[in-house]
Structure formats: structure tokens, C-alpha cells
Amino acid sequence: MGKIKSLEELMKIKEEALKNVKMREAGKRGKIVVAMGTCGIAAGAKDTLKAVVETLDELNIDDIAVVQSGCMGLCEVEPTIEVALEGEEPIIYGRVTPENAKRIIKSHIVDGELVSDLIVKRGEV
Ligand code: FES
């Protein structure tokens, strides 16, 4: 990219970038938030994140965003993930091993059925 010469040019670039972000967000019907706080990482959250990304890929699901967050304050049930689908109450799942991550994606995201034995919280954290 060349040198930005004016404020006007800078604003234009910013506007374009915002438009792109909005478009990307608009194309998604939900997100999976993986808690990557210290406890989460110690409990294996990196493997969970990897399993989430790989499973979405395997199932050709590209309308779910994957986001990392800090601590959700749920140490005893880490690794945790939040599944937030458009128009639905967000669900926090705990003890999300890579196997459980697969189960959650197949059941909650593909079939629309909550995995009740892994739910630790409903609603915003
Ligand atoms: S301190 Fe954040 S999950 Fe334990």
C-alpha cells in the first residue's frame, strides 16, 4: 500500500475496512467462543480450539465464526466454549475435550439439539 496522503484518504480506507468486516459478520449465523484463559489453556483449550476449527472444516460449515476469548471464570469446568447462534440464547459448555467439541458441533450446530450433559450455563457470561 502506498503512503496515505490525506485524512480523507484515510477515512476512505477505514470505511472500506469496516464494510468488509460487516460483510463477513453478516454472512455468519453464529459463533463459537473458545475461552483461552490460563485455566482453559492448562485444561487443554488449545486442543479444543483445534478440534472446533477442524470439525467445522470437515463438515464444510463456513457460516460459524470461531473466536477466542479470555477467561470466562469457570475454572472448574474448563475447557469451556460458548455457542451463540443467531436468535438463540448463548450456551456455555464445559469440559469440552476435542471429542466433546465434535459432539457439540454435530448436535447443536448441525442438528439444532443442545448437548445437555455438557451445559454449564445459559445466557451471557
Ligand atoms: S482463572 Fe479463568 S478460568 Fe480459571
Identify the pLDDT of residue 123: 82
Residue 119 three-state SS:
strand
Identify the pLDDT of residue 23: 42
Reported residue count of the chain is 125
Q: Which residue's alpha carbon is at the smallest distance from atom 4 of ligand 1?
A: 75
With a 6 Å cutoff on the Cβ, whether 37 touches ligand 1 is yes
The alpha carbon of 51 and the centre of ligand 1 are apart by a number of angstroms equal to: 21
Residue 93 three-state SS:
strand
Identify the pLDDT of residue 12: 74
pTM of the model as a whole: 0.78
Identify the pLDDT of residue 70: 93
pLDDT in tens, 65-82: 999 999 889 999 999 999
Query: How are beta strands 119-122 and 91-93 bridged, if at all?
Result: antiparallel
With a 6 Å cutoff on the Cβ, whether 39 touches ligand 1 is yes
With a 6 Å cutoff on the Cβ, whether 94 touches ligand 1 is no
Separation CA 82–CA 85 (nearest Å): 10
